[in-house]
Amino acid sequence: MKIGIALAIFNPNLDFLSDQLKSLIHQSHLDWECVLSDESTDPIVSRQAEQLSGLDPRFRWVRRQELPRGPAANFEYALNQLSASCEVFAFCDQDDIWEPQKLERLLELLEKKPAAPLVHSDLSLIDGKGQMIATSCWQMEKRNFAHNSSLLELVLRNRVTGCTMIFRKDLLNLALPFPKEVHGAYLHDHWVASLGLILGPAVDCGEPLVQYRQHGGNVVGASDLGWWPSLARIFRAAIFFKTKADAAFRVRYKLAKDLRDRIQERKPESLHFVEVELETFLKPRRLLFFRGLRGAKFMTQEFLIWLLLNLSFHDLSVGSAIDSASVDDQFGTL
Protein backbone atom coordinates (compact mmCIF):
# COMPACT_ATOMS: atom_id res chain seq x y z
CA MET A 1 0.00 0.00 0.00
CA LYS A 2 1.56 3.28 -1.12
CA ILE A 3 1.86 6.06 1.46
CA GLY A 4 1.95 9.72 0.44
CA ILE A 5 3.94 11.92 2.81
CA ALA A 6 3.35 15.68 2.96
CA LEU A 7 6.40 17.51 4.30
CA ALA A 8 6.02 21.26 4.87
CA ILE A 9 9.23 23.33 4.77
CA PHE A 10 9.82 26.86 6.00
CA ASN A 11 13.40 28.16 6.54
CA PRO A 12 14.49 24.85 8.05
CA ASN A 13 17.56 24.03 10.07
CA LEU A 14 19.26 22.03 7.33
CA ASP A 15 20.87 19.57 9.75
CA PHE A 16 17.44 18.81 11.24
CA LEU A 17 15.91 18.49 7.77
CA SER A 18 18.70 16.16 6.68
CA ASP A 19 18.12 13.95 9.74
CA GLN A 20 14.41 13.81 9.00
CA LEU A 21 14.88 12.90 5.34
CA LYS A 22 17.36 10.16 6.24
CA SER A 23 14.87 8.74 8.73
CA LEU A 24 12.32 8.50 5.91
CA ILE A 25 14.84 6.78 3.65
CA HIS A 26 15.47 4.20 6.36
CA GLN A 27 11.79 3.30 6.82
CA SER A 28 11.14 -0.44 6.81
CA HIS A 29 8.04 0.19 4.66
CA LEU A 30 9.46 1.04 1.25
CA ASP A 31 6.40 1.97 -0.82
CA TRP A 32 6.08 5.70 -0.22
CA GLU A 33 6.59 9.05 -1.88
CA CYS A 34 7.21 12.39 -0.21
CA VAL A 35 6.46 15.89 -1.49
CA LEU A 36 8.56 18.61 0.13
CA SER A 37 6.52 21.81 -0.15
CA ASP A 38 8.91 24.71 0.40
CA GLU A 39 7.73 28.22 1.20
CA SER A 40 11.04 29.40 2.69
CA THR A 41 11.82 33.09 2.48
CA ASP A 42 15.59 32.50 2.37
CA PRO A 43 16.52 31.52 -1.22
CA ILE A 44 19.84 29.99 -0.13
CA VAL A 45 18.17 27.72 2.42
CA SER A 46 15.50 26.83 -0.13
CA ARG A 47 18.14 25.87 -2.69
CA GLN A 48 19.91 23.67 -0.16
CA ALA A 49 16.62 22.03 0.82
CA GLU A 50 16.02 21.25 -2.85
CA GLN A 51 19.48 19.67 -3.03
CA LEU A 52 18.71 17.51 0.02
CA SER A 53 15.63 16.19 -1.75
CA GLY A 54 18.04 14.51 -4.16
CA LEU A 55 18.97 12.00 -1.46
CA ASP A 56 16.27 9.62 -2.73
CA PRO A 57 14.13 9.50 -5.91
CA ARG A 58 11.00 9.11 -3.77
CA PHE A 59 11.40 12.76 -2.66
CA ARG A 60 9.96 15.53 -4.80
CA TRP A 61 10.72 19.15 -3.94
CA VAL A 62 8.19 21.81 -5.00
CA ARG A 63 8.27 25.55 -4.48
CA ARG A 64 5.13 27.08 -2.96
CA GLN A 65 4.53 30.82 -3.42
CA GLU A 66 0.75 31.06 -3.05
CA LEU A 67 -1.12 32.83 -0.27
CA PRO A 68 -2.02 32.30 2.50
CA ARG A 69 1.27 31.31 4.09
CA GLY A 70 1.62 29.06 7.11
CA PRO A 71 1.98 25.39 8.03
CA ALA A 72 -1.63 24.39 7.35
CA ALA A 73 -1.64 25.90 3.87
CA ASN A 74 1.78 24.41 3.16
CA PHE A 75 0.70 20.93 4.21
CA GLU A 76 -2.45 21.27 2.13
CA TYR A 77 -0.39 22.18 -0.92
CA ALA A 78 1.90 19.18 -0.38
CA LEU A 79 -1.08 16.84 -0.08
CA ASN A 80 -2.45 18.11 -3.38
CA GLN A 81 0.90 17.42 -5.11
CA LEU A 82 1.00 13.74 -4.16
CA SER A 83 0.28 11.23 -6.92
CA ALA A 84 -3.12 9.59 -7.35
CA SER A 85 -1.60 6.17 -6.61
CA CYS A 86 -1.22 7.01 -2.90
CA GLU A 87 -3.77 5.23 -0.72
CA VAL A 88 -2.68 6.36 2.75
CA PHE A 89 -1.30 9.74 3.81
CA ALA A 90 0.97 11.20 6.47
CA PHE A 91 2.09 14.61 7.70
CA CYS A 92 5.82 15.08 8.24
CA ASP A 93 7.54 17.95 10.07
CA GLN A 94 10.90 19.29 8.92
CA ASP A 95 12.73 18.87 12.22
CA ASP A 96 11.72 15.50 13.70
CA ILE A 97 13.11 12.00 13.30
CA TRP A 98 10.92 9.00 12.47
CA GLU A 99 11.66 5.63 13.99
CA PRO A 100 12.51 3.10 11.21
CA GLN A 101 9.36 1.05 11.81
CA LYS A 102 6.95 3.99 11.98
CA LEU A 103 5.16 3.57 8.66
CA GLU A 104 5.17 -0.23 8.80
CA ARG A 105 3.77 -0.33 12.34
CA LEU A 106 1.01 2.22 11.71
CA LEU A 107 0.03 0.64 8.41
CA GLU A 108 -0.28 -2.78 10.08
CA LEU A 109 -2.68 -1.32 12.64
CA LEU A 110 -4.69 0.49 9.97
CA GLU A 111 -5.07 -2.70 7.94
CA LYS A 112 -6.22 -4.62 11.02
CA LYS A 113 -8.93 -2.01 11.69
CA PRO A 114 -10.76 -1.46 8.38
CA ALA A 115 -13.31 0.85 10.03
CA ALA A 116 -10.61 3.17 11.40
CA PRO A 117 -9.96 6.26 9.26
CA LEU A 118 -6.65 7.03 10.97
CA VAL A 119 -3.96 5.65 13.27
CA HIS A 120 -1.63 7.72 15.43
CA SER A 121 1.21 6.98 17.81
CA ASP A 122 2.99 8.28 20.88
CA LEU A 123 6.17 10.37 20.55
CA SER A 124 9.44 10.59 22.40
CA LEU A 125 10.94 14.05 22.92
CA ILE A 126 14.46 15.10 21.94
CA ASP A 127 16.30 18.40 22.17
CA GLY A 128 18.12 20.30 19.45
CA LYS A 129 21.17 18.05 19.85
CA GLY A 130 19.13 14.85 19.56
CA GLN A 131 19.35 14.06 23.27
CA MET A 132 16.32 12.35 24.84
CA ILE A 133 14.11 14.60 26.99
CA ALA A 134 11.20 12.23 27.61
CA THR A 135 10.36 8.74 26.39
CA SER A 136 6.62 9.43 26.13
CA CYS A 137 4.91 12.68 25.17
CA TRP A 138 1.55 11.10 26.03
CA GLN A 139 2.63 10.48 29.61
CA MET A 140 4.26 13.88 30.00
CA GLU A 141 1.20 15.73 28.70
CA LYS A 142 -1.17 13.39 30.56
CA ARG A 143 -3.22 12.69 27.45
CA ASN A 144 -6.39 10.84 28.35
CA PHE A 145 -7.61 8.95 25.29
CA ALA A 146 -10.83 7.90 26.98
CA HIS A 147 -12.04 11.40 26.10
CA ASN A 148 -11.33 10.85 22.40
CA SER A 149 -14.47 8.73 22.05
CA SER A 150 -16.35 12.03 22.08
CA LEU A 151 -16.16 14.54 19.23
CA LEU A 152 -16.86 17.24 21.81
CA GLU A 153 -13.77 16.37 23.83
CA LEU A 154 -11.57 16.17 20.74
CA VAL A 155 -12.75 19.60 19.56
CA LEU A 156 -11.92 21.01 22.98
CA ARG A 157 -8.46 19.49 23.15
CA ASN A 158 -6.73 17.79 20.24
CA ARG A 159 -4.74 14.75 21.32
CA VAL A 160 -3.69 13.59 17.84
CA THR A 161 -0.32 15.05 16.86
CA GLY A 162 -0.08 15.56 13.12
CA CYS A 163 3.37 14.04 12.58
CA THR A 164 2.27 10.76 14.22
CA MET A 165 -0.81 9.99 12.13
CA ILE A 166 -1.51 8.13 8.92
CA PHE A 167 -4.99 8.30 7.39
CA ARG A 168 -7.02 6.89 4.55
CA LYS A 169 -7.93 8.53 1.26
CA ASP A 170 -11.62 8.88 2.14
CA LEU A 171 -10.62 11.04 5.11
CA LEU A 172 -8.29 13.08 2.91
CA ASN A 173 -11.08 13.68 0.39
CA LEU A 174 -13.38 14.81 3.19
CA ALA A 175 -10.75 17.13 4.69
CA LEU A 176 -9.71 18.90 1.47
CA PRO A 177 -9.81 21.76 0.90
CA PHE A 178 -8.95 22.96 4.37
CA PRO A 179 -11.32 25.70 5.63
CA LYS A 180 -9.82 29.16 5.66
CA GLU A 181 -10.01 29.18 9.47
CA VAL A 182 -7.39 26.42 9.60
CA HIS A 183 -4.86 28.94 8.36
CA GLY A 184 -5.37 31.24 11.33
CA ALA A 185 -7.27 29.63 14.19
CA TYR A 186 -6.78 25.90 14.66
CA LEU A 187 -4.25 23.60 13.00
CA HIS A 188 -4.53 21.06 10.19
CA ASP A 189 -4.11 18.02 12.46
CA HIS A 190 -7.00 19.17 14.67
CA TRP A 191 -9.21 19.46 11.58
CA VAL A 192 -8.24 16.06 10.16
CA ALA A 193 -8.47 14.27 13.52
CA SER A 194 -11.92 15.70 14.23
CA LEU A 195 -13.24 14.70 10.81
CA GLY A 196 -11.68 11.28 11.30
CA LEU A 197 -13.63 10.72 14.49
CA ILE A 198 -16.84 11.45 12.58
CA LEU A 199 -15.97 8.73 10.05
CA GLY A 200 -15.00 6.15 12.64
CA PRO A 201 -12.85 5.38 15.69
CA ALA A 202 -9.16 6.28 15.61
CA VAL A 203 -6.57 3.68 16.62
CA ASP A 204 -4.14 4.79 19.33
CA CYS A 205 -0.70 3.23 19.12
CA GLY A 206 1.09 3.67 22.45
CA GLU A 207 4.47 2.97 20.88
CA PRO A 208 6.57 6.17 20.43
CA LEU A 209 7.30 6.18 16.69
CA VAL A 210 8.46 9.78 16.24
CA GLN A 211 11.34 11.59 17.92
CA TYR A 212 9.65 14.97 18.40
CA ARG A 213 12.35 17.62 18.42
CA GLN A 214 11.93 20.50 20.87
CA HIS A 215 13.85 23.66 20.02
CA GLY A 216 13.40 27.41 19.77
CA GLY A 217 11.89 27.27 16.28
CA ASN A 218 8.95 24.95 16.98
CA VAL A 219 5.60 26.15 15.63
CA VAL A 220 3.93 23.84 18.15
CA GLY A 221 5.75 21.85 20.81
CA ALA A 222 5.09 19.61 23.75
CA SER A 223 4.18 21.01 27.17
CA ASP A 224 5.23 19.76 30.57
CA LEU A 225 1.90 19.58 32.36
CA GLY A 226 3.17 19.14 35.88
CA TRP A 227 1.14 20.74 38.67
CA TRP A 228 3.19 23.87 39.29
CA PRO A 229 3.71 24.92 35.64
CA SER A 230 0.01 24.40 35.02
CA LEU A 231 -0.88 26.33 38.16
CA ALA A 232 1.26 29.22 36.95
CA ARG A 233 -0.60 29.16 33.62
CA ILE A 234 -3.91 29.26 35.46
CA PHE A 235 -2.79 32.34 37.39
CA ARG A 236 -1.58 34.05 34.20
CA ALA A 237 -4.85 33.17 32.50
CA ALA A 238 -6.78 34.65 35.41
CA ILE A 239 -5.04 38.00 34.85
CA PHE A 240 -6.12 38.15 31.23
CA PHE A 241 -9.12 35.87 31.64
CA LYS A 242 -11.60 37.64 29.39
CA THR A 243 -9.28 37.87 26.38
CA LYS A 244 -8.04 34.32 26.77
CA ALA A 245 -11.51 32.94 27.40
CA ASP A 246 -12.91 34.62 24.31
CA ALA A 247 -10.02 33.34 22.19
CA ALA A 248 -10.40 29.81 23.55
CA PHE A 249 -14.10 29.85 22.74
CA ARG A 250 -13.73 31.41 19.28
CA VAL A 251 -11.18 28.86 18.08
CA ARG A 252 -13.31 25.92 19.18
CA TYR A 253 -16.48 27.53 17.89
CA LYS A 254 -14.90 28.01 14.45
CA LEU A 255 -13.78 24.39 14.35
CA ALA A 256 -17.25 23.20 15.41
CA LYS A 257 -18.94 25.33 12.76
CA ASP A 258 -16.53 24.20 10.04
CA LEU A 259 -17.08 20.56 10.94
CA ARG A 260 -20.83 20.98 10.79
CA ASP A 261 -20.66 22.78 7.45
CA ARG A 262 -18.33 20.23 5.85
CA ILE A 263 -20.41 17.26 7.02
CA GLN A 264 -23.63 18.89 5.84
CA GLU A 265 -22.06 19.40 2.42
CA ARG A 266 -20.19 16.10 1.96
CA LYS A 267 -21.61 13.51 4.37
CA PRO A 268 -25.15 14.53 5.37
CA GLU A 269 -25.92 11.08 6.81
CA SER A 270 -23.55 11.95 9.69
CA LEU A 271 -25.02 15.41 10.29
CA HIS A 272 -27.26 14.36 13.16
CA PHE A 273 -24.30 12.85 15.05
CA VAL A 274 -22.28 16.05 14.62
CA GLU A 275 -25.11 18.34 15.64
CA VAL A 276 -25.80 16.31 18.78
CA GLU A 277 -22.13 16.46 19.76
CA LEU A 278 -21.77 20.17 19.01
CA GLU A 279 -25.04 21.05 20.69
CA THR A 280 -23.43 20.23 24.02
CA PHE A 281 -20.46 22.43 23.18
CA LEU A 282 -22.70 25.37 22.32
CA LYS A 283 -24.91 25.22 25.37
CA PRO A 284 -24.54 27.89 28.08
CA ARG A 285 -21.02 28.01 29.46
CA ARG A 286 -21.89 27.17 33.06
CA LEU A 287 -23.45 23.84 32.14
CA LEU A 288 -20.47 23.09 29.94
CA PHE A 289 -18.03 23.95 32.70
CA PHE A 290 -19.46 21.66 35.34
CA ARG A 291 -19.84 18.81 32.85
CA GLY A 292 -16.24 19.24 31.76
CA LEU A 293 -14.85 19.60 35.26
CA ARG A 294 -16.47 16.34 36.28
CA GLY A 295 -15.17 14.55 33.18
CA ALA A 296 -11.67 15.98 33.44
CA LYS A 297 -11.31 14.71 37.03
CA PHE A 298 -9.29 17.81 37.88
CA MET A 299 -6.49 17.06 35.41
CA THR A 300 -4.81 20.45 35.18
CA GLN A 301 -4.77 20.86 31.39
CA GLU A 302 -8.45 19.97 31.00
CA PHE A 303 -9.33 22.08 34.03
CA LEU A 304 -7.68 25.12 32.44
CA ILE A 305 -9.54 24.63 29.16
CA TRP A 306 -12.93 24.25 30.86
CA LEU A 307 -12.18 27.23 33.10
CA LEU A 308 -11.35 29.49 30.17
CA LEU A 309 -14.49 28.45 28.31
CA ASN A 310 -16.62 29.05 31.38
CA LEU A 311 -15.16 32.54 31.71
CA SER A 312 -16.26 33.34 28.18
CA PHE A 313 -19.55 35.17 28.49
CA HIS A 314 -20.98 34.05 25.14
CA ASP A 315 -24.23 32.21 25.86
CA LEU A 316 -25.17 30.66 22.54
CA SER A 317 -27.52 27.85 21.66
CA VAL A 318 -26.84 25.46 18.82
CA GLY A 319 -29.47 27.12 16.67
CA SER A 320 -28.20 30.68 16.95
CA ALA A 321 -24.51 29.77 16.81
CA ILE A 322 -24.21 27.07 14.19
CA ASP A 323 -26.68 28.65 11.80
CA SER A 324 -25.28 32.18 12.06
CA ALA A 325 -24.27 33.75 8.76
CA SER A 326 -20.74 34.61 9.83
CA VAL A 327 -18.66 33.71 12.84
CA ASP A 328 -16.79 36.97 12.45
CA ASP A 329 -20.04 38.91 12.85
CA GLN A 330 -20.45 37.38 16.31
CA PHE A 331 -16.87 37.31 17.56
CA GLY A 332 -14.65 39.32 15.25
CA THR A 333 -11.43 37.97 13.80
CA LEU A 334 -8.73 36.31 15.83
Per-residue pLDDT of the chain (334 residues; tens, 9 = 90+): 999 999 999 999 999 999 999 999 999 999 999 999 999 999 999 999 999 999 999 999 999 988 888 899 999 999 999 999 999 999 999 999 999 999 999 999 999 999 999 999 999 999 989 999 999 999 888 776 654 568 888 888 888 999 999 999 999 999 999 998 676 678 999 999 999 999 999 899 999 999 999 875 554 555 454 545 555 655 555 555 556 666 777 788 889 889 999 999 999 999 999 988 887 665 545 455 555 555 545 455 556 666 666 555 444 333 333 333 333 333 333 2
181, 213, 245 — which closes off a domain? Answer: 213
Main-chain phi, psi angles of 98, to 5 degrees:
-90, 140
What pLDDT is recorded for position 196?
97
Q: Is residue 334 domain-resident? A: no
Tell me: do 97 and 235 sit in the same domain. Answer: no
Tell me: do 277 and 205 sit in the same domain. Answer: no
Q: Is residue 333 domain-resident? A: no
Tell me: do 239 and 185 sit in the same domain. Answer: no
Output the domain CATH number for residue 55.
Answer: 3.90.550.10
Q: Which of 79, 35, 34, 78 is nearest to 174 (CA)?
A: 79
Q: Is residue 218 domain-resident? A: no
Tell me: do 197 and 237 sit in the same domain. Answer: no
Q: What is the maximum span of the chain, computed from C-alpha positions, in angstroms? A: 56
What pLDDT is recorded for position 233?
59
What pLDDT is recorded for position 184?
63
What pLDDT is recorded for position 159?
87
What range defines the domain where residue 49 resides? 3-213
**Could you give the CA distance from residue 87 to residue 254 in angstroms, rounded to a whole number?**
30
**Could you give the CA distance from residue 89 to residue 231 in angstroms, rounded to a whole number?**
38
Q: Exposed (0-12), middle (13-18) or buried (19+): which is 188, by Cβ within 10 Å?
A: buried
User: Under a CB-based contact definition with an 8 Å cutoff, are residues 274 and 259 in contact?
Assistant: yes
